[in-house]
Amino acid sequence: MKYDFSNIEKKWQQFWAGTGTFKAENNSEKQKFYVLDMFPYPSGAGLHVGHPLGYIASDIYARYKRHMGFNVLHPMGYDSFGLPAEQYAIQTGQHPKNTTEINIEGCLDREGNILSKYVNEDGSIENEALVDTSRIVTIKDGNYHDNIIKGYRRQLDQLGFSFDWSREIRTSDPKYYKWTQWIFIQLFNSWYNSDSDKAEPIEDLVPIFEKDGNANVNAVCDDDTPNFSAEEWGAFSSKEKQEKLLKYRLTYLADADVNWCPALGTVLANDEIVNGVSERGGHPVVRKKMTQWMMRITAYAQRLLDGLEKIDWPQPLKDSQRNWIGRSEGASVSFRVLPWVPSAGGKTRSPQGMGSFPDESPLNYGESFETRLKADLAIEVFTTRPDTIFGVSFMTLAPEHEQVSKITTTEHKAEVETYIEATAKRSERDRMADVKTITGAFTGAYAEHPFTKEPIPIWIGDYVLAGYGTGAVMSVPCGDQRDYDFAKHFGIDIPNIFEGIDISEEAFADKEKTVIANSDFLNGLPYKKAVKKAIAELETLGQGEGRINYRLRDAVFSRQRYWGEPFPVYYVDGMPQMIADEHLPIKLPEVEKYLPTETGEPPLGNATEWSWDTNRNEVVSNENRVVSNGNVIPNGSGERSRSTVEGQTVSNGVYPLELNTMPGWAGSSQYFNRYMDPHNDDEIFSQEAINYWQDVDLYIGGSEHATGHLLYSRFWQKFMFDKGLVPVDEYAKKLINQGMITGTSAFLLRLKYEFYILDSTYSNKEVEAVFSEIVSTKQIFVSFGIKNALEESEGPKEFQKLRESLDGFATGMKGIILEKLPNMDVRFELESEDFYNPIHADISLINSSNELDIQAFKNWRPEYQDAIFILEDGEIYHGNSLPPAEGRGGGFIVSREVEKMSKSKYNVVNPDDIVKEYGADSLRMYEMFLGPLEQSKPWNTAGITGVHSFLKKLWKLYHSGLNNEFKVTGPTTLPTEESEKGNSPSMTSEAHKKEQGREQTEINEPSAESLKTLHKTIKKVEEDIENFSFNTSVSTFMICVNELTAQKCSSWEILEPLAILVSPYAPHIAEELWEKLGHSESIATAPFPKFEEKYLVESSKEYPISFNGKTRFTMELPLELDKRQIEEAVMAHEKTQQQLDGRTPKKVIVVPGKIVNIVG
RNA sequence: GCUCGAGUGGUGGAAUUGGUAGACACGCCGGACUUAAAAUCCUGUGACCAUCUGGUCGUGCGGGUUCAAGUCCCGCCUCGAGUACCA
């Protein structure tokens, strides 16, 4: 029997789906094990070979754990809200719900028409779970078809994953996002108590406010939260009370400086911006003030940091989370702004000083100088180096700092305003790109040094960021390079406060070597002591305190998009109200257009049925939103929907709903818990389920989510933990980042050439028209070797054949030109440097020798129909004759380069093609064999033949004879109920027949050699899986099968356990062999073979004998020999004497069981 | 700039605690089978020298520790990832 992988794989995939082999139970005697993959966004492009890498690894681990007797939860679902479906909807009008469904289930053409769930080539519809991949039309036929969406589900199914699909969830399913909305409400109803260091119910705050005001409440709240007494609280209106409470809630509305992406029409979170442009699409991002829902993740900054200690996550990922949270210890210091300006003769109070602070400066927002004096204006800074406070020689504020306008003097007003305007114009990106240029402006104002009471000039400069700390710094030029450069540039003093350090060239920032000088009470102190002392003195003065600062910002939670979770929020008098739990989910409304409204509202502003009826508790038409005079309230313009019109409020209890939707990370922040009880409509999950499954034991996914999903989901988990909903505050014990599988792009090298006009009577216009036509249609591509020749010979003139070809080309071109512009004299030339442009070619047009199928390329890219190809041997191929034979040395070779696998780079390898040609088991094993899981590595299809022939050899081990019949000898004892514990012991009649067939064959004991091979394989494979070293266990299997084949092993005692060993990697072939071995139950839960040391015990060792560390020969010696006996035996060996050549060794090192080294 | 990671044959990669460097595969060379090709099987394959036995060199570079270094230590170079005026 041949190894018919195609039918075997289909058979078992249907068997697993039909019998629910991998369905996990929520209560079990067995120990639980939860293996989770990051769920995919179902894009229309489908899977490429890079996507399944992590899924294969997690599947191997999940299957291994089942063999080890665990109750394994291994679920899969879809992160199905997201931008691409929405962008597609904007372009085509297709509802994202439909495109998403189709991306998962399959089949949609390029025009956006739904073909059907599954379509055959003849147009007939098939509703089978598995569609023959041969029906998928691909580029292989020479024509470029790419219009059939294969469907994520089918692509996943064909790889044989052991997912429990009965638990599938989709974030865009209202049954699922009901609970995303529910968590949002829980966050809204909570505040963070810094004393108990946890989230607590917001209603607990009200009695406190009623009794004592907010003075004694130690909470993480908005910076601008005002202080109020119990009396003031009592006097607040209901709206004012709501406003105050909003400042404490864990999700709150705020006018925030947000990253607005005009091209996408939405705000983006910090982690969605890379290098100043949007992560998706690379569009520019600008700062803009908008009212947005925010998540108070900063309340959890310290706990998110501490939590990293107890989870087994990759170090780089932890580092990047630590970096993102950005904890720094230091002090906050308050500098009082002086109401006078120092004069040459010393400090001078007004009236002179008064003159410098005009009352009517437009920068002062109408505040008089008197007001400022009363306000006791002070600037607060954060510093990590309070020890250097005596080195302060100026202060710098961010240009956006709100106090800039209040302190700037008349003389400096113009300069400061110009500067602020200039920096505001610079985009974030420009500012980042240009760090070298030092810019700034003096405000004219001075602050007072807390200790010396000396005046300190206050500057503004864009090297100080508004978003970090307080947006102001105390500048210590001797201890900070940026302050140093700024001071040097503007000629500000650079006092030295370090003992024995030369600061004439650069600042000195080495904390460890610091000894403070010229600093009053800090003199002679090292860094740490000086910091402590400085903080203590500041506290005494009441002008500072120790402070921990975090870089982490609260996360923006609003998106101006359609395809996301709607908020369960409506507005009464501009204040947000939560919809009661029992009315969830609030489903996404239908809209006609997916773009923002004409008034600039988010897409939900287009919905006509998007109002909340507080009497009927349901979403109703906006028509119902009427005021007392009967007018309907329109949707407002701006971020918050209007619930008033001309002073009149809604009178009938129908209010506008929130128009924003939630960001992509909302749904992915709770899915791992929901899998535990995914169909529960009464609770987010039952306590039984969460207490049984607890947390994820192994989480596999990409490192690109380090500061997005993986941080936000930890935050939500900690919140849920505070609420007592989950038993642990870190949801994933171990996380592995799988590396990227990169693609090998193919490039055609297009020569850059030019014509020079030597003599012409034509106008520039006429010439240009002809030239541009030629240049756009007549392209020259050169084969890779030609490019090398061009480069190595410092120009084309050295390469004779090419020269001739180009001459031919030039003559041809000249002919065309002369036809249209007779008598013109032109010269053809290549650009001398950088003389080619690389053009991507689809890799399916390239054969294994890197030769391009030129005709297929031209069919794919009609614009190159007239292009000319200079082949590897220098010949010209014009395309009007037959293309050169492949593989004969005269082909057209493309240049190859490793890049990220992506549709736009035409370097995608589709797993469907691989599965069709080699089978899923081959693909699974090959992806593992490529290299370490966590490492990024290039895909090379050629290598798959190695693992494929391994599987064929494995198959052959179980088969022999003329017809390759299944033949395994033994077992000496037939499987009994005991030996198949955990499986059903009953055997089918078919299996019995096989039993009998086996009994008729000879029964022989497995050889010691085979047992040794088996057991060393068991040992290695078990260790490898535990260490996630999947690539080495594939090698081990190869060695094992090679050895057993050489041993002609056909023993049941060897081959039965071998099937189990292989099963996590190649489950289909393992199931098939398992069945042939007489089992009627799936191999999935068969106990993993037990390693027994006794089969590996050796009596002798092949000792390497080395001389001065270099191995010269080996010799076999019994293991029971001691050092002396070994030495004697080695010294007696004739080769030893030969090596020594009469010398006496100085020393002989003997490590029993390992090595002998003779020195001398 | 800072942080982290990595440099091993033509290629992907092995070498888990310092102990025979290059496992296992791909590719390539040669051979068998075949009219031929494919498939399959066998042999060889780090470089250099040598007819062979064998020898010299060899894990980015330079040094060191050690009987012994891909592995440990010091200094450098290159590449990759993340981060970027974080006070």
A1058-1088 as b/e: b if 16+ CB within 10 A: bbbbbbbbbbbbbbbbbbbbbbbbbbbbbbb
Q: Name the closest nucleotide to A461, judged by C1' and CA.
A: B85
One-letter amino acid identity for A661? T
Higher pLDDT: A887 or A953? It is A953
Q: Name the closest nucleotide to A898, judged by C1' and CA.
A: B80
CA distance A958 to A1050: 7
List pLDDT tens digits, range A399-414: 888 888 888 888 888 8
pLDDT of residue A409: 84
Q: How far is the CA of A1039 from the C1' of B23 (A)?
A: 9
Distances (CA, A) of A963 to A119, A959, A960, A1145: 38, 9, 7, 62
pTM of the model: 0.86
pLDDT of residue A134: 35
pLDDT of residue A1061: 95
Q: How far is the CA of A399 from the C1' of B35 (A)?
A: 87
Q: What is the mean pLDDT of residues A287-302?
A: 87
Q: What is the mean pLDDT of residues A108-119?
A: 44
Higher pLDDT: A1102 or A682? It is A682
How, if at all, do strands A544-550 and A327-337 pair? antiparallel
Return all residues near A1093 (Cβ < 8 A) that are at least 6 apart. Answer: A1015
Report which of A907, A910, A891 is spatially closest to residue A849, judged by C-alpha positions.
Answer: A891
CA distance A170 to A162: 18
Higher pLDDT: A1082 or A1105? It is A1082
Give the 3-state secondary structure of residue A595: coil
- A490, HSE (Cβ side, Cα atoms, 13 Å): 23
Q: Name the closest nucleotide to A1019, judged by C1' and CA.
A: B16
Q: Name the closest nucleotide to A428, judged by C1' and CA.
A: B85
pLDDT of residue A596: 81
CA distance A423 to A417: 10
CA distance A1150 to A1132: 15
Q: Name the closest nucleotide to A317, judged by C1' and CA.
A: B82
List pLDDT tens digits, range A485-502: 899 889 888 898 888 888
Q: Name the closest nucleotide to A1023, judged by C1' and CA.
A: B16
pLDDT of residue A170: 95
pLDDT of residue A275: 66
Residue A55 token pair: 């899924």
Say whether pLDDT at A539 is over 70. Answer: yes
User: DSSP for A23-91?
Assistant: PPPSS-SSPEEEEEEPPPP--TT---TTTHHHHHHHHHHHHHHHHTT-EEE----B----HHHHHHHHH
Residue with tokens 């609280």: A233
Q: What is the mean pLDDT of residues A263-269?
A: 73
Split at pLDDT 50, 70, 90, the class of A236 is very high
pLDDT of residue A350: 39
List pLDDT tens digits, range A713-765: 999 999 999 999 999 999 999 999 988 888 888 888 887 777 777 777 777 77
Report which of A126, A147, A167 is spatially closest to residue A20, judged by C-alpha positions.
Answer: A167
Say whether pLDDT at A796 is over 50. Answer: no
Across A826-840, A1050-1064, A1079-1093, least confident range:
A826-840
Mean pLDDT of chain A: 81
Say whether pLDDT at A638 is over 70. Answer: no
Q: How far is the CA of A595 from the C1' of B45 (A)?
A: 63
The total number of residues shown for chain A amounts to 1160
Distances (CA, A) of A316 to A191, A706, A792, A861, A1096: 32, 9, 41, 43, 39
On chain B, which bases lie within 7 A of the protein's CB atoms?
A: 3-5, 11-16, 19-21, 23-27, 40-41, 54-56, 67-69, 80-87
List pLDDT tens digits, range A1046-1073: 888 888 889 999 999 999 999 999 999 9
Say whether pLDDT at A1142 is over 90. Answer: no
Q: How far is the CA of A1112 from the C1' of B46 (A)?
A: 18
Give the 3-state secondary structure of residue A1011: helix
The pLDDT > 70 percentage for chain A reads 83
CA distance A126 to A189: 50
Give the single-character DSSP code of A601. -
pLDDT of residue A801: 61
Q: What is the mean pLDDT of residues A912-923?
A: 90
pLDDT of residue A171: 95
Q: Name the closest nucleotide to A950, judged by C1' and CA.
A: B25
Across A232-241, A939-948, A1114-1123, least confident range:
A1114-1123
Higher pLDDT: A169 or A740? It is A169
Give the 3-state secondary structure of residue A356: coil
Q: How far is the CA of A1129 from the C1' of B53 (A)?
A: 23
Give the single-character DSSP code of A471. S
Q: What is the mean pLDDT of residues A195-221?
A: 92
pLDDT of residue A1052: 87
Q: How far is the CA of A712 from the C1' of B5 (A)?
A: 25
Beta bridge partners of A119: A125
- Report residue A868: phi and psi, to 5°: -115, 140
Q: How far is the CA of A945 from the C1' of B43 (A)?
A: 20
Q: How far is the CA of A1107 from the C1' of B58 (A)?
A: 18
Higher pLDDT: A145 or A419? It is A419
CA distance A602 to A358: 45
User: Could you count the other beta carbons within 10 Å of the beta carbon of residue A31?
Assistant: 11
Split at pLDDT 50, 70, 90, the class of A146 is very low
Q: How far is the CA of A433 from the C1' of B38 (A)?
A: 58
Q: Name the closest nucleotide to A704, judged by C1' and CA.
A: B82
Distances (CA, A) of A972 to A459, A945, A1013: 91, 36, 19
pLDDT of residue A620: 92
Residue A898 token pair: 């490793």
List pLDDT tens digits, range A367-391: 444 444 445 688 999 999 999 999 9
Q: How far is the CA of A930 from the C1' of B13 (A)?
A: 8
**Rounded CA Rg of chain A:** 37
pLDDT of residue A122: 45
